[in-house]
Structure 1
Amino acid sequence: MMPLPETSAYLITCSRPGAAKRAADAILLKLYCKKGGCGNCPDCARVKNAHPDIMRLDAPKVDTLREAISFVSIKPERYKAVVIENADDMNAAAANCILKTLEQPPENTVFLLLARSRSGVPPTVASRCAAVRISAEDGAEEKIKSVLGVDAATAHVLFDLSGGFFEEACEIYRDEAFMRMRAELLEMCEKLLRQKGFAVSRYADFIESNKDRLSALFCIMQSYYRDMLVYKKTKTPELIINRDAADKIMKAAPDFTSGALSNIISIILESERRFLAPVNFRLAAEKMLFCILEENAKWKK
């Protein structure tokens, strides 16, 4: 049996939730596999599917954390493990609920908290966890290009979308629905600023139909307008992220002021934060689009 981990709680942070989840799964495989995480044995198969001693939570709420506390109080076969995703969404009440258990966990218990950044996690919780920071791989862009057999422009786009994580880049590349959504969204970003008037219904329809990919949608919108802003200021095509749309970006950038593009990016960032709270989705989407159009009209050259 592998020795007990040096600590009973880990805070795994990464800008890409998928990469943090893969890191947590790797820890679990090493924890439960008698061969150290081979990935092929019956123990690993149970970890990947539904292990009775592993509890996974997708939201750190008081009621689910209380369930987790009860779960770890039952003696395990080897170890008890609780994976808590979105730990940076944890409020003060949820944090207070779990503090004592993190400080004095039952024997053979491991907590894995996943978050985009340590700063979003309540300090009282973060201080009780060992920090594990997941960073992008060195040489990931070249690896994406060679392994997937894509051109340099596509590799650069996949590198940006994945945050530099090769496995995530592969998943994105193979997700045809996602790639279609991205292509339509880039076209929408261009047409939105070109249109006359303030008609936003079809754009709001598109956002609403892709609300299950909302985080990626905001990232793509930000990167498109960021590309326009950067090219306008530098006239350097190599700095464009969305290289498959570089011609359109370079052609459009001179038609808009730096102030408008900068403020549009801020509007999208603020809207992304607004969507984290319970809101009327349609109204929030339309408000963001109206604000973008108003900003563009205000600064129109």
Structure 2
Amino acid sequence: MADADSIDQLRVESAVLPIGAKVPSLQDLRQHPDLARGLASQSLSRQPQGAAETVGPAITFGELSAKASVRPRQESTPRLDAEAASAGAVPYPEPAHSMTSEQCFKALNGTGKKFYIKSRYAVCSGASFTQTWFKNNKPVGQSQFVLVAEAVIAKSSRTITVQYDYLHMDQVGQSGAGGMMISPDASLPKKWPSTATIRQGGSIPAPRSWAAIKADPDPSFEHTVTVDAGQGSGRIAARRRHVAQLRAEELAALEALDMRWIPHPSSPGPFLLKTSRRESQ
């Protein structure tokens, strides 16, 4: 960890990468400094933010990914016994309504993709935030963290619960990561229909430093969005109610996972990391 005087002399270049993306080692960066600029060119913030499977009015909000989202492996359909077949009883498994950060991380790790769809009621998004630290234009350190957001809807519920989890917070060499301020913004940039009333809750934290988050034994936080029934209108209501209230909100919430660097004068380090899908439009 660098002292305060050294931190003031550091410059940082950041990139938002797919989870598990290959990052050059500090030794490689010292030998080939241009590799850091190559990381910035791979940044997810430069790529489509919407999942390819987005449907309904949400397809008009931002550019959709050309890549299909990660999905669970298809399991073989269980064979029916003769009695069940004759009775016309065809069992259909209940879609998943839960997801852990470990499941999200494992599903996305190394795929080059941002979205994982476990079921209609359990989806997630994630990215790796990497920083390369320079002194006198020479790479002297690296830092990173992974952020995943798991969005789930309980059975027979109209509430989407999004849990955000910080993972793999690491640094090497001379780094100013400890003083970086991370400020989550979980606001929804769009809703359908626009007149719908939503209720939001959860435990979205105030800005915290990278060091404080790393020291927290449970740095996760939660954001909930509830949309009451009966708020559709006209002929679109019947067809779009499930899309707008069960799927569009969960995808819009995940699309909000877009981070960038902006100046923050009160930070002991030179930058604030802020989550904002809306500001990037």
Judging by fraction of residues, say which structure has more strand: 2
TM-score (norm 2): 0.24
Higher relative CO (CA 8 A, sep ≥ 6), structure 1 or 2? Answer: 2
Q: As a proportion of its length, which structure holds more helix? A: 1
State the TM-score, normalized to the length of structure 1. 0.23
